[in-house]
Amino acid sequence: MSWLRAQAFWAYYTAWDTVAQAAKAGDLLNHTIRQSKDGATPVTATNNQVSGNHKELANGEYAILMTATEATSDSLNVFGSSTTAGIAIIPFRTMLLRLPNADPAASAGLPTGASLIASILDGVNDVDTALSLRQALRLITAACAGKTSGLDTLAVAIRNTSDNKTRINATVDAFGNRSAVSYDVT
């Protein structure tokens, strides 16, 4: 069984009565659950004996909520002991997957926050050859809402909405047909 890395998840385990050869119900308060990341030194699980996050399900089956911090390894072993004589905790082992297999925002990782927005807005050739979505939006906004000058001449200029940059320069004929266009998308 696998879970997603750095995401909280429920680990399920069984308390086994080695004398009666059956699952042991009603033993939760006697359990100490520990975890080991990638085979490292075991430590007590964060939610060990925390009400609501460590509970008995039924018929000797139990669950403990493993925190996102605990799930920051490639593998996680969940095991424990009971102070009740003859009770063994059947361990739980899982692989923790990263999809993709890199930290968020790292090289080959999923983009996050501002980097996600930038990856959408700044991908080259997303709209037209050598034109990103951000650059296209700058031109569209200027063309639709920017101030114009030279409409009665053969050189038309269209400004950005802040009116601090000419976004589009066009050479036109007497009918307004464009024969040359230059852009400033910076």
* Residue pLDDT, tens place only, 114-127: 777 887 888 776 67
Do 14 and 60 share a domain, yes or no? yes
| Structural domain that includes position 35 | 2-97
Mean predicted lDDT score pLDDT of the chain:
90
| Lowest-confidence region among 48-62, 72-86, 92-106, 141-155 | 92-106
Please state the domain count of the chain. 2
Does residue 176 fall inside a structural domain?
Answer: yes
Q: Is pLDDT above 80 for 36?
A: yes
Do 15 and 93 share a domain, yes or no? yes
Do 23 and 79 share a domain, yes or no? yes
Do 24 and 59 share a domain, yes or no? yes
Average pLDDT over residues 87-92: 95
Could you give the percent of the chain with pLDDT greater than 70?
92
Phi and psi at 164, nearest 5°, equal -120, 10
